[in-house]
Amino acid sequence: MGTPGSEFDDEVLRAAAEFTDAPLLAALSLALGDPSLLRDDLRPDLTIPIDPMAGWTPDMLAAAQQLAFDALRRWRDAGCPSPPVVPVGQLRPVIEYTVGGPVPDDYLPLLYEELGGEGDDPRAPRFRAGDLAPDRRMRVAVVGAGMSGLVAAHRLAQAGVEHVVIEKNDDVGGTWLENSYPGCRVDVSNHFYSYSFAQKADWPNYFSPRDVLLDYFRRCSEEFGILPNIRFGTEVVAATWDEESATWDVELRTASGSEHLKVEAVVFAVGQLNRPHLPEIEGIDSFAGPSFHSARWDHDVDLAGKRVAVIGNGASGAQFIPIVAEQAAALAVFQRTPNWLLPAPDYQAPIPEGKLWLFRHVPSYNQWYRFWLFYRTADALLPAAEVMDGWDDPGSVSPANALARAYMQAHLEEQFADRPDLLEKVLPAYPPFAKRMVFDNGSWAGALKRPNVELVTDPIVRITPTGVETSAGHFDADVIVYATGFLASHFLEPVRITGRAGADLHETWKGDARAYLGITIPGFPNLFCLYGPNTNIVVNGSIIYFSECAVRYMLGCLELLLRDGYDALDVRKSVHDAYNEDVDAANRQRVWGAVDVHSWYKNALGRVSQNWPFTLQEYWRRTVTPDPDEYELLHATRRPAG
């Protein structure tokens, strides 16, 4: 056996250096202990919204590639050393190089945590229930075994809290189990759309397809020993708070009937996008052929040679329409609002060998790459979604937003240069980021330009037994596919939830769901939501990040109860209301709240009930530890039996 790294010849290193980016220079500077790699003239500029080169010109890129190649050779020739463990406090210059400028002090703890700087799993609970309160019973029911329920179960197990996960499906994965439509994939890069405590160096794609994600969540549930605690094929239909015993009575529907569980706390991890939405169109039940929603894809229906109507063109539609277009004899796409397309040439591409090599071999590159994505695609993008007072342009809300618009408009104009008739239909009038963007590698234009495809923008009047009728005429169809999204603002439905003094949650909400930090609701003690109201993001970021933060907060609440000897906590209404006012005011200053365009972010009352309007850092800051003063702390008057 030769020295470590001797098998990596210059050709391998040269091919890998082609994929140089700022995080690679950061990782190499640490591996070699050489800060000179963090050259000022090669600082990225993350203030330019959605610039794939992060401000690097071709000359800068070439210089960075040469620098990385030389560094890789040095690293190999030194026997591929791992970087010494650097105290997180000393990482600041490396962080500031990677993000292209100074980072506020209050941001650093989060960035260290994202880098795994304070230990391999810095978000893990730091307590054990048995140590805090050896004689106390604390049982938790987690509803849902999607991404959020799994992280909750994992953390509860780490804290030694007795729990059970109730899942209506027969498998884990939630979104990634139910959405099996062709082309389904994540549109947040996988190094970020993955658990912070379960990173992978070998994602096959930058944006993995559904099967890869489902496999990831299955493997995580096996690896973390979650499966034995899940009751599959069981649905929670009701939960009722018992004031005296400070417990929840959870009613389950199982294959063999109804059952009740008594627990001290309930965690609803039921997702925002779990109940398909079918539009209220006259005659929807009259269609004689097969019809289905994208999240209930009927794989028994062969679309080859059929006349297919697709209603809706949002994130799911944009993924499967290009594939269906290749199979169908004729495809009519019914569009209500066009999408902004975010150019993403690598959207469906496998990660090239050179880049994979870097992930597999260069120490800490994986973490720095994830960290870079976290910073540049999330908080660095938020300013482009903020409304600038006095900015007078119907197509944008600020100079940064106008810049993003110009970039994406140029992409659309280029894609549809030969089809001005289509360009007119696909160019959004509304500002970018008012709706979620669709990632595009050219397949959308490719599909719409096919001779067998028609993009229909006339309003639908009704569904008939033989197809779809619009104000302009009738489209004959053999199959109708609804890409019409989910009942996103119907949080926690259809579960009947009864809290203190017999209050019904859905009557309390009246269709306008709110929660403190998206997690706790006044009058409903020891009930926690994950991916709850106002914890969705638009410009970017990953829901996994939110769920990890919310789970840590939930564990913090349980810790507080166990440590201080209380049985329940109920968020103060004044705290909840003041928080929601802040969120609403901020959402009105974000393009998705300020602009009048139809989106799933607003509920039936027109309030943005889905989205988080602040930075990711702000959510982290607010959820690190619960503040006991924000809660009414309660004692049971009668201890539950058993």
Ligand X SMILES: Cc1cc2nc3c(=O)[nH]c(=O)nc-3n(C[C@H](O)[C@H](O)[C@H](O)COP(=O)(O)OP(=O)(O)OC[C@H]3O[C@@H](n4cnc5c(N)ncnc54)[C@H](O)[C@@H]3O)c2cc1C
Binding of residue 116 to ligand X (CB under 6 A): no
Minimum CB distance to ligand X, residue 271 (Å): 2
Pairing of strands 330-334, 265-268: unpaired
Q: Exactly one of 76, 155, 168, 514 binds ligand X (CB under 6 A); which one?
A: 168
Q: Which is nearer to ligand X, 378 or 595 (CB)?
A: 378
For residues 469 and 398, give the distance between their C-alpha atoms in angstroms, rounded to a whole number: 39
Binding of residue 550 to ligand X (CB under 6 A): no
Closest alpha carbon to 220 in 185, 273, 269, 174: 174
Binding of residue 522 to ligand X (CB under 6 A): no
Binding of residue 493 to ligand X (CB under 6 A): no
The SS3 of residue 307 is strand
Binding of residue 379 to ligand X (CB under 6 A): no
Count of residues engaged in binding ligand X, rule: CB under 6 A? 33
Q: Which is nearer to ligand X, 29 or 272 (CB)?
A: 272
Q: Which is nearer to ligand X, 335 or 542 (CB)?
A: 542
**525 touches 173 (CB < 8 A):** no
Q: Exactly one of 236, 308, 341, 385 binds ligand X (CB under 6 A); which one?
A: 236
Q: Exactly one of 98, 247, 316, 611 binds ligand X (CB under 6 A); which one?
A: 316
Question: DSSP string of 161-201?
Answer: -EEEEE-SSSSS-THHHH---TT-B-SS-TTTSS-TTS--S
**412 touches 460 (CB < 8 A):** no
Pairing of strands 235-242, 496-498: parallel
Q: Exactly one of 65, 148, 367, 610 binds ligand X (CB under 6 A); which one?
A: 148
Q: Exactly one of 371, 531, 592, 619 binds ligand X (CB under 6 A); which one?
A: 531
Binding of residue 175 to ligand X (CB under 6 A): yes
Binding of residue 184 to ligand X (CB under 6 A): yes
Expressed in percent and rounded to 5, the helix, strand and coil fractions of the chain are 35, 15, 45
Which span (147-155, 238-246, 555-563, 600-608) binds ligand X, by CB under 6 A?
A: 147-155
Which span (79-87, 88-96, 138-146, 501-509) binds ligand X, by CB under 6 A?
A: 138-146
Binding of residue 273 to ligand X (CB under 6 A): yes
Residues 6+ apart with CB under 8 A from 586: 613, 614
Q: Exactly one of 44, 49, 182, 271 binds ligand X (CB under 6 A); which one?
A: 271
Binding of residue 530 to ligand X (CB under 6 A): yes
Closest alpha carbon to 438 in 340, 556, 308, 326: 340
Minimum CB distance to ligand X, residue 89 (Å): 31
Q: What are phi and psi of 119, to 5 degrees?
A: 130, 165
Whole-angstrom Cα Rg for the chain: 26
Minimum CB distance to ligand X, residue 16 (Å): 27
Binding of residue 145 to ligand X (CB under 6 A): yes
Minimum CB distance to ligand X, residue 275 (Å): 8
Element (H, E) at 305: none
For residues 503 and 513, give the distance between their C-alpha atoms in angstroms, rounded to a whole number: 14
**149 touches 142 (CB < 8 A):** yes
Which span (18-26, 101-109, 267-275, 579-587) binds ligand X, by CB under 6 A?
A: 267-275
Q: Which is nearer to ligand X, 28 or 151 (CB)?
A: 151
Binding of residue 144 to ligand X (CB under 6 A): yes
Q: Which is nearer to ligand X, 65 or 547 (CB)?
A: 547
Token couple for 580 = 């929601």
Which span (95-103, 182-190, 398-406, 611-619) binds ligand X, by CB under 6 A?
A: 182-190
Task: Give the CA distances from residue 620 to residues 79, 444, 533, 548, in Å, rounded to whole numbers and listed in that order.
Answer: 39, 36, 16, 9
Minimum CB distance to ligand X, residue 535 (Å): 9
Minimum CB distance to ligand X, residue 28 (Å): 30
Binding of residue 495 to ligand X (CB under 6 A): yes
For residues 247 and 249, give the distance between their C-alpha atoms in angstroms, rounded to a whole number: 7
Q: Exactly one of 189, 274, 366, 535 binds ligand X (CB under 6 A); which one?
A: 274
Minimum CB distance to ligand X, residue 252 (Å): 8
Quickly tell me which residue has 């005659």 as its tokens: 283
For residues 578 and 573, give the distance between their C-alpha atoms in angstroms, rounded to a whole number: 8
Token couple for 431 = 């500002």
Interacting residues with ligand X (CB under 6 A): 143-149, 166-169, 174-175, 179, 184, 186-188, 193, 235-236, 269-271, 273-274, 316, 495, 530-531, 542-543, 547
